[in-house]
């Protein structure tokens, strides 16, 4: 099939969009599909051509090489033949139309299909921490149960002294081959579950699984900046892998407890602080608590209740450590409810000086809000 123009094969113009290429390929694949053309060698060739053309034109890198240097260019760049990811792509497009792997059709699936030892599974657990711990980072001890390699059989799954035997059903291939139409297909051997070997006398300690559940405790460093639902990856602390395969990873997902004083919005914090009438009227310097010590906030004279001040960089450090959020301080002017006689008379004096009515009916409010009613 070398030498044929891929654009011609699919019947698309140079510069066709990926959607167009996909459509054209689907059309060609369905038309020339061997099931629809039993015994037709020509159709099978067309079918393969279309698949090859598609595998090149849909891949931006391969397409660029092909557009400039043609098929020879592809081969010199090591792009010859099909790789399995391309088959996955095809299966994705054609859905379950085929019901078998493309690898079978192209004869590239001859490599050893035995189930290989797997790396350990990842584990995930949730951990609740305080807002302060989230802001500053913390070291925590966690307890968990995870699978460890069975020490009795060293993960081999075999009773010590016994051996594995070749699976009689698949003769050790892990796959059972069968004929469908003119294709030879294969499926995973159900007798050995693809392992190619069977264990006649399994290890008693782990019931032949090679793994044993064990309780363990770990010290985990939680960096500053964790938020609700942040996933922290602790490499190599998941479950043990099979044979010599590496352990899985552990993921710690943080939940942040509500704080009595601070509210958090991403990396910003906010809080409310009380201010007396005199402080609000005259201005003041007040101390505001943060997770890294107290900060002095300068309140200008004449501030109103509910006004918000920003303390830059006094929020929470971003988890990547680069920037810090801000702290928003909302001042709430509080009214004294426990005035002494002397304080009362001073306030009355102030009201008098400002022409405010205390004992009589105050008519000025109506005047002030009148225009809001019309």
Residues that bind Zn ion (CB under 5 A): 150, 152-153, 167, 169-170, 189, 191-192, 203, 205-206
User: Which lies closer to Zn ion via its Cβ, residue 43 or residue 245?
Assistant: 245
CB of 190 to Zn ion, least distance (A): 8
* Helix (H), strand (E), coil (C) string for the chain: CCCCCHHHHHCCCCCCCHHHHHHHHHHHHHHCCCCCCCCCHHHHHHHHHHHHHHHHHCCHHHHHHHHHHHHHHHHHCCCCCCCHHHHHHHHHHHCCCCCCCHHHHHCCCCCCCCCCCCCCCCEEEEEEECHHHHHHCEEEEEEEEEEEECCCCCCCCECCCCCEEECCCCCCCCEEEEEECCEEEEEECCCCCCCCEEECCECCCCCCCCEEEEEEEEEEEECCCCCCCCEEEECCCCCCCCCCCCCCCEEEEEEECCCCCCEEECCEEEEEEEEEHHHHHHCEEEEEEECCEEEEEEECCCCCCCCEEEECCCCCECCCCCCECCEEEEEEEECCCCCCHHHHHHHHHHHHHCCCCCCCCCCHHHHHHHHHHC
User: Which lies closer to Zn ion via its Cβ, residue 204 or residue 300?
Assistant: 204
User: Which lies closer to Zn ion via its Cβ, residue 91 or residue 197?
Assistant: 197
User: Which lies closer to Zn ion via its Cβ, residue 214 or residue 326?
Assistant: 214
CB of 148 to Zn ion, least distance (A): 11
CB of 242 to Zn ion, least distance (A): 12
Cα separation, 194 vs 187, in Å, equals: 9
Parallel/antiparallel/unpaired status of strands 308-311 and 197-199: unpaired
CB of 145 to Zn ion, least distance (A): 17
Cα separation, 275 vs 305, in Å, equals: 8
User: Which lies closer to Zn ion via its Cβ, residue 148 or residue 318?
Assistant: 148
User: Which lies closer to Zn ion via its Cβ, residue 244 or residue 360?
Assistant: 244
CB of 64 to Zn ion, least distance (A): 44
User: Which lies closer to Zn ion via its Cβ, residue 206 or residue 250?
Assistant: 206
CB of 86 to Zn ion, least distance (A): 28
CB of 65 to Zn ion, least distance (A): 42
CB of 147 to Zn ion, least distance (A): 12
User: Which lies closer to Zn ion via its Cβ, residue 169 or residue 333?
Assistant: 169
């Amino acid at each position: 099939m070398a030498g044929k123009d891929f654009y011609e094969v699919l019947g698309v113009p140079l510069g066709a969009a990926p959607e167009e290429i996909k459509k054209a390929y689907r059309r060609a694949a369905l038309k020339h599909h061997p099931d629809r053309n039993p015994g037709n060698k020509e159709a099978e060739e067309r079918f393969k051509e279309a698949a090859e053309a598609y595998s090149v034109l849909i891949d931006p890198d391969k397409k660029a090489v092909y557009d400039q240097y043609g098929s020879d260019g592809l081969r010199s760049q090591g792009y010859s033949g099909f790789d399995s990811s391309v088959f996955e792509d095809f299966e994705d497009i054609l859905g379950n139309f085929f019901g078998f792997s493309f690898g079978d059709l192209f004869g590239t699936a001859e490599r050893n299909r035995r189930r290989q030892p797997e790396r350990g599974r990842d584990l995930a657990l949730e951990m609740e921490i305080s807002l302060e711990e989230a802001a500053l980072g913390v070291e925590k001890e966690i307890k968990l149960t995870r699978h460890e390699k069975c020490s009795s059989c060293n993960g081999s799954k075999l009773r010590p002294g016994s051996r594995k035997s070749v699976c009689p059903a698949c003769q050790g291939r892990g796959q059972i081959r069968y004929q469908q139409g003119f294709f030879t297909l294969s499926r995973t051997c159900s007798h050995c579950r693809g392992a190619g070997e069977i264990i006649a006398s399994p290890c008693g300690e782990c019931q032949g699984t090679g793994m044993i559940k064990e309780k363990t405790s770990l010290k985990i460093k939680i960096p500053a900046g964790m938020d609700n639902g942040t996933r922290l990856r602790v490499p190599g602390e998941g479950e043990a892998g099979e044979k010599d395969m590496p352990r899985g990873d552990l993921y710690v997902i943080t939940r942040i407890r509500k704080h009595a004083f601070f509210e958090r919005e991403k990396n910003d914090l906010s809080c409310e602080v009380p201010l007396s009438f005199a402080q609000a009227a005259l201005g003041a310097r007040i101390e505001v608590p943060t997770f890294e010590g107290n900060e002095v906030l300068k309140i200008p004279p004449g501030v109103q209740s509910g006004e918000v001040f920003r303390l830059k960089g006094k929020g929470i450090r971003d988890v990547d450590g680069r920037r810090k959020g801000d702290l928003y301080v909302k001042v709430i002017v509080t009214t004294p409810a426990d005035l002494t006689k002397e304080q009362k008379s001073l306030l009355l004096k102030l009201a008098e000086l400002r022409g405010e009515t205390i004992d009589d009916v105050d008519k000025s409010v109506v005047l002030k809000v009148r225009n809001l009613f019309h």
